[in-house]
Chain A
Amino acid sequence: MIMEADVAVIGSGPAGLTAAIHAHKSGARKVLLLEREEELGGILKQCIHNGFGLEQFKQDYTGPEYAERLIKDLEKTDVQYFLNTLVTDLSSDRVITALSPEHGTLEIKVKSIVLAMGCRERTRGSIGISGTRPAGILTAGVAQRFVNIDGYLPGKEIVILGSGDIGLIMARRLTLEGAKVIGVYEIMNYTGGLKRNIVQCLNDFDIPLYLSHTVTEIRGKERVEGVVVARVDSNFHPVEESEKLIKCDTLLLSVGLIPENELSKKAGVELSATTRGPVTTEIMETSIPGIFTCGNVSTVFDLVDYVAQTGAAAGDCAARYASGGLSGSRKSVDIVAGENVRLLFPLRYGFQDDLVLFIRAMEPVEKPVTIEVAPLDSKINRPYARPNEMLRLKISKGKLAEVKQPIRVSIREK
């Protein structure tokens, strides 16, 4: 089947749903939403814990409630959505190829595209743990799916490697379901997840957290029988004398997320080595005019509110592009990391809109900091900077109008 549309959104998680709703609101006439799973909502459906939408809706929703709220808004529009539809190809001139059991091969020509494919979990392969390959090694998100959607417990005695939010949330969830979570081991000397999750997922259930520790070996033949854990030195090398065998039947990995950009690559979108997502401007436009991006495919965000915020911007701008409201100059300046900045989003400023900047610190600073945005002389103060909590700030378009050289962002102790 051959189709045409103004805007197509790929992925129906919080970013894609919000983008589709906003594209419609901003006047795009025909908006398509493509989802590879059998339901809308993306990862929200398995995130049954609360804490979603506090900023956006001033409500404490669970993931599925948050998703249903967005889906309800979507259903008030005439956005057409396709489920079970896998996008297999994307060209730089904005032709989407997709497969669907209902429609067969779809070829969709669109005026603008919003990429909202989200991210994937890093696996054992990406961190290279030695040992055998028994059953019982899984990522925290897969375990979450097993427990919360498919309704079964993946193990009884569990070790968690990495202190990402999903790992912390699964530590609590598995404990509630009757499993024993022996401990959470984190290689860094600070936690990966939000502080509130350390409190309400670990401390509330007396689950120990070991910082500067890692798993050096997995043992077991058919099933995991144990893992060897060790303390690491300041270069992250395991200290041999500290190695200890811990008996368990399951190892959960919560060791980071990677934006899923297979399709972006096919279209030839420029990707960043730091965010692992497309290089974009403040209007979420990638290096290819008319292709926009939002949510965790762009960079991994901490909060769904941030994901939705980028979705709204991408949807609005994709609609503007489709109606010809964005054509014209594409001049831009780079936004570059200065002192104590690991990651920035977006990576370019295109002089179209206010700049909402997301910043991740390199090292934790537990005292007041100043965020410098050179060459502007505005200094923004924050009570602290932590790598596990993105800093966000907004700079008005007016202030940036005269900027000619790259914008350099630094975090300095006050």
Chain B
Amino acid sequence: MATEKRHFVCVVCPIGCEIDVVHDGSKIISMEGSKCKKSEEFVSQELVEPMRILTTTVRIQGSRWPVIAVRTDKSVPKRLFPRIMRQLKRIKLEAPVNILDVVVRDIIGTGANIIATRTMPRE
């Protein structure tokens, strides 16, 4: 495959390094603008399959608020976000829930768990 030039903004941290990369489809030929190892890893991953942490809410009952904040416990393919959201719409938790409790194990086979990101006492 011919070489291709691509431009990325790293989203690992708020600095947002602008990175220019040249690759040939299987390996990276050159990379410029990255200031840390994490952003190099980010770009390598971005070329193959963009991965993100998904943060959202799910329904809960028996608590002060009707929803509770949750996230995936590791990055998942960005393209699977709509499917994960559809899956999460089907569930309803029961308070109490503690922060970092696993609320769905291995969501749609991604290997990532959905965990609570706050404590929700029973009321």
Q: Which residues of A contact B (CB under 8 A)?
A: 38, 45, 48-51, 54-55, 60, 62-65, 67-68, 147-151, 173, 176-178, 194-196, 198-200, 204, 302-303, 389
B80 within 8 A of A: no
Q: Which B residues lie within 8 Å of A45 (CB)?
A: 118
Instruction: Tell me, in angstroms, the Cα distance from A173 to B119 when the chains sit together.
Output: 21
What are 18 residue pairs bridging A and B, where the CB atoms are less than 8 Å apart in the complex? A45-B118, A50-B53, A50-B71, A51-B14, A60-B53, A64-B69, A64-B99, A68-B118, A151-B67, A173-B56, A176-B56, A195-B18, A196-B10, A196-B13, A198-B9, A199-B11, A302-B14, A389-B14
Is A195 a contact partner of B9 (Cβ separation < 8 A)?
yes
Chain B 57-101 against A: per-residue CB contact (8 Å), 1 yes, 0 no?
A: 101000011110101000000100100010000000000000100
B44 within 8 A of A: no
B23 within 8 A of A: no
Contact of A204 among B16, B52, B56, B59 (CB under 8 A): B52
Instruction: Tell me, in angstroms, the Cα distance from A326 to B64 when the chains sit together.
Output: 44
Instruction: Tell me, in angstroms, the Cα distance from A196 to B10 when the chains sit together.
Output: 7
Contact of A48 among B55, B59, B66, B99 (CB under 8 A): B55
Q: Which residues of B contact A (CB under 8 A)?
A: 9-11, 13-14, 16, 18, 50, 52-57, 59, 64-67, 69, 71, 78, 81, 85, 99, 117-119
Q: Which B residues lie within 8 Å of A67 (CB)?
A: 118
Is B78 a contact partner of A204 (Cβ separation < 8 A)?
yes
Cβ-closest 10 pairs across A and B: A151-B67, A64-B118, A195-B16, A48-B69, A151-B66, A196-B11, A196-B16, A62-B117, A199-B9, A200-B11
With contact pairs A62-B117, A65-B99, A198-B9 given, residues A149 and B14 touching in the complex (Cβ less than 8 Å): no
Instruction: Tell me, in angstroms, the Cα distance from A132 to B65 when the chains sit together.
Output: 33
Q: Which B residues lie within 8 Å of A62 (CB)?
A: 55, 69, 71, 117
Instruction: Tell me, in angstroms, the Cα distance from A16 to B56 when the chains sit together.
Output: 26
Q: Which A residues lie within 8 Å of B85 (CB)?
A: 176-178
Q: Which A residues lie within 8 Å of B71 (CB)?
A: 48, 50, 62
Q: Which A residues lie within 8 Å of B119 (CB)?
A: 68
Minimum distance in angstroms from A392 CB to a CB of chain B: 12
